[in-house]
Amino acid sequence: MFKASQEMRLNTNSAASASLGLSGSGGLEGPSAEKDGIFGRYQRTPDADAYPTEPPRVYIAPELTDASRVQLLHFPSGAVRTNSSVSFVLKRNGVKGNFDVRVEGPSGQLETVQQQQLDPERFQIDSQLSSGAGLYKVHVKCNSVNLSRSPFIIVAIAGAPEIPEMKSSSAEEPTVQSDASKVLSRGLGLSHVSYLERNEFTVDCSQAGSNMLFVGILGPRGPCDEVLVKHLGRNIHRVTYRVSDPGDYILVAKWGEQHIPGSPFSLATE
């Protein structure tokens, strides 16, 4: 192929001789090379020599990780004591790859985490909550992909573990029938935080049975200064709160010992 613009001559004698031979006119002389040669300048096109020299190749990428199939089993649903150990189980449900689990304390420091494989499908995670009271964030990844609701929240409270009281066999413990999954919450206070203004939302527990509503808000400097929960009747509550520091906040709402749908809520000041 031509690497640059250059002059050249094309000799058409052979083509002309063949044409005369077919016509049968033997008395005519063939054209001269000088007369019938085509002289000119030819320019190489940019992609004139871009022809494939190898057969096409097909590349197959590995299957992407479907982190939504991973299950979190036996995760603590209620508050736990500080300096106590917590454990839960990760079930892969056929997802290939490795798990990365990090437990972040209230001040951002990382806790010690131990991972033990129970069988090809299940892994047990153990950690010690040794950074004081507050909210602990549990970050779970599968092949560097976060699980859908990661980080998961564990609420740790100060104090020594409670010693259960001995009860007579004849005494019956009252049972509380409640279902936190049926609690409904709505209001701007669950998605936006107004700085130095009152924030408000409502929690409807009318279809969730009998229990108590607990609301806590943790900010950059610790628990929120003012949180008011008012019962409006028929198990409907109005929650108001104020924040005095800009930054990120975490709002926890529980019906008894269970989180209501959406809890914990991640908020940020406007």
Give 32-76 pLDDT, tens digit per residue.
545 555 555 555 555 545 555 667 676 554 555 688 888 888 888
Supply the pLDDT for residue 129.
87
Same domain, 129 and 186: no
Same domain, 210 and 252: yes
**Is 170 part of any domain?**
no
Same domain, 152 and 74: yes
Which has the higher per-residue pLDDT, 116 or 270?
116
**Number of domains, the chain:** 3
State yes or no: pLDDT of 26 exceeds 50: no
Same domain, 209 and 128: no
The amino acid at 22: L
Of the candidates 132, 126, 127, 125, the residue with the CA atom closest to the CA atom of residue 82? 132
Residue 129 burial (CB count, 10 A): 22
Same domain, 191 and 264: yes
Same domain, 197 and 241: yes
Same domain, 86 and 144: yes
Supply the pLDDT for residue 140.
92
Same domain, 261 and 188: yes
Same domain, 147 and 94: yes
CA dihedral 167, 75, 123, 150 (to 10 degrees): -170
From 126, 157, 188, the end of a domain falls on 157
Supply the pLDDT for residue 83.
86
Same domain, 95 and 130: yes
CA dihedral 186, 189, 191, 193 (to 10 degrees): 170
User: Which distant-in-sequence residues (6+ apart) come within 8 Å of 108 by Cβ?
Assistant: none
Q: How would you label 11-32 residue by residue, b for 16+ Cβ within 10 Å and e otherwise?
A: eeeeebeeeeeeeeeeeeeebe
**What mean pLDDT comes out for the span 113-126?**
89
Domain containing residue 33: 6-42
**Is 49 part of any domain?**
no
CATH of the domain at 87: 2.60.40.10
Same domain, 250 and 186: yes
**Is 173 part of any domain?**
no
Supply the pLDDT for residue 138.
92
Supply the pLDDT for residue 75.
86
**Is 247 part of any domain?**
yes
Supply the pLDDT for residue 16.
53
**Is 25 part of any domain?**
yes
Supply the pLDDT for residue 28.
43
Res. 20 pLDDT band, cuts 50 70 90? low
Res. 132 pLDDT band, cuts 50 70 90? confident
**Is 174 part of any domain?**
no
Mean pLDDT of the chain: 77
Residue 65 burial (CB count, 10 A): 17
Model pLDDT for residues 234-257, shown as the tens digit of each residue: 889 999 998 888 888 888 999 988
Tokens for 268? 């940020």
State yes or no: pLDDT of 230 exceeds 50: yes
Tokens 């991972």: give the residue. Answer: 115
111-115, 212-216, 245-249: the lowest-pLDDT one: 245-249
Supply the pLDDT for residue 202.
93
DSSP one-letter code for 28: S
Supply the pLDDT for residue 59.
57
Which has the higher per-residue pLDDT, 9 or 143?
143
**Is 59 part of any domain?**
no
Model pLDDT for residues 136-188, shown as the tens digit of each residue: 899 999 888 888 888 888 888 876 555 555 554 444 555 557 888 999 999 88
Contact predicate 156/79, CB 8 Å: yes
Same domain, 195 and 260: yes
State yes or no: pLDDT of 17 exceeds 60: no
